[in-house]
């Protein structure tokens, strides 16, 4: 039996624009998905998910009798969750050259599903690491990041970037632009505060919406490029250790994302509550449409403000997690 974990993430800058070759800067946070894998004597796969913002479910599939999970949970939710798990298992089998390996898989997660905190990437990264280790193969984090990206690319029908999976596998703050991925060293202390509205956006639909705008309006394409400019300025601020400037640029980034139609009333309410509490900056994180915002505040004011904001179901501090994927004792 092997258990691996991987962190979720918040975006300082760059979501959506990263799909079009602009840079992005996500940061790993200390909320993790844990995947436990135990090899079976047959080729079947049983998956138990106790906490993926679902009511919990257990499925089993494989062999010749069936090829789809049979479970009494809304189909879109199961298909989304199982697509990532199935992909992780297949990549692990290929890496270990064990195409008929069967597993019992248990998933536990502190990361809300579909909320913009990288839950799917964390599950895929941890799942690949645990399954390959269970089969006697140890991959380095960069290899795991690449395999996990392949899974997300397939499940998201070619609309994924390497940002989430690379950040989850490597930990810390990273810069991603196309296939160019690297860690950012010597990042200053970033006092993250996260607000969660209890919902989730449809990533595929939101990405498609931005694509339509970009193709229809030249100024929407300019907006995507402007997000890239914000990212580059943000990188410089990080290297200078200027957290105040990082916050100001986060505000710019949120405004540009809102112009592209990917914010939501609940997200805007939380962003403005954070700003009115004198946060250094605040923005949505992830695909948008619902889910989470991230703010920077060294005081307790933003956390308190979010806790009293209508529509905010949970608010918490989130430390930068310098560990990426790791095996758990």
pLDDT tens-place string over residues 270-309: 999 999 999 999 999 988 998 999 999 999 999 999 999 9
| Intervals of the chain under pLDDT 50 | 54-61, 63-75, 77
SS3 157: coil
**pTM given for the model:** 0.86
**214-223 own/partner pairs: CB under 8 Å, 24+ apart:** 214/20, 220/260, 223/256, 223/259, 223/260
Task: Calculate the alpha carbon distances from 10 to 24, 61, 182 in Å.
Answer: 11, 33, 16
For the chain, the structural domain boundaries read: 2-184, 192-318
Q: What is the CATH number of domain 192-318?
A: 3.30.70.890
Would you name the residues annotated as active-site residues? 164
According to the model, what pLDDT value does residue 74 have? 44
Q: Using the structure block, give the residue that is written with the tokens 């580059």.
A: 232
Architecture of the domain delimited by 2-184: 2-Layer Sandwich (3.30)
């Amino acid at each position: 039996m092997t258990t691996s974990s991987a962190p979720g993430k918040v975006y300082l800058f760059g979501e959506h624009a990263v799909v079009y070759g602009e840079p992005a800067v996500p940061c790993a946070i200390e909320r993790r998905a844990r995947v436990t894998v135990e090899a079976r004597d047959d080729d079947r796969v049983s998956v138990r998910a106790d906490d993926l913002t679902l009511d919990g479910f257990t499925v089993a599939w494989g062999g010749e009798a069936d090829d789809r999970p049979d479970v009494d949970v809304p189909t879109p939710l199961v298909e989304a969750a199982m697509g990532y798990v199935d992909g992780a298992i297949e990549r692990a089998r290929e890496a270990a050259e064990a195409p008929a390996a069967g597993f019992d898989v248990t998933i536990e997660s502190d990361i809300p599903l579909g909320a913009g905190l990288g839950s799917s990437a964390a599950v895929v990264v941890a799942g690949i690491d645990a399954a390959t280790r269970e089969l006697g193969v140890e991959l380095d984090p960069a290899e795991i990041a690449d395999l996990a990206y392949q899974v997300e690319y397939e499940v998201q029908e070619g609309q994924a970037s390497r940002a989430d999976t690379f950040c989850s596998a490597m930990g810390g703050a990273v810069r991603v632009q196309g296939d160019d991925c690297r860690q950012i060293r010597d990042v200053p202390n970033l006092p993250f505060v996260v607000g969660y509205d209890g919902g989730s956006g449809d990533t595929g639909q939101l990405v498609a919406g931005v694509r339509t705008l970009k193709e229809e309006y030249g100024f929407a394409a300019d907006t995507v490029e402007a997000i890239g400019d914000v990212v580059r300025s943000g990188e410089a601020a990080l290297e200078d250790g200027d957290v105040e400037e990082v916050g100001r640029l986060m505000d710019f980034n949120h405004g540009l994302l809102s112009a592209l139609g990917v914010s939501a009333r609940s997200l805007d309410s939380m962003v403005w509550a954070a700003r009115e509490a004198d946060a250094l900056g605040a923005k949505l994180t992830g695909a948008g449409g619902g889910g989470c915002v991230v703010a920077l505040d060294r005081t307790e004011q933003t956390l308190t403000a979010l806790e009293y904001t209508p529509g905010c179901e949970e608010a918490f501090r989130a430390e930068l997690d310098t560990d990426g994927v790791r095996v758990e004792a």
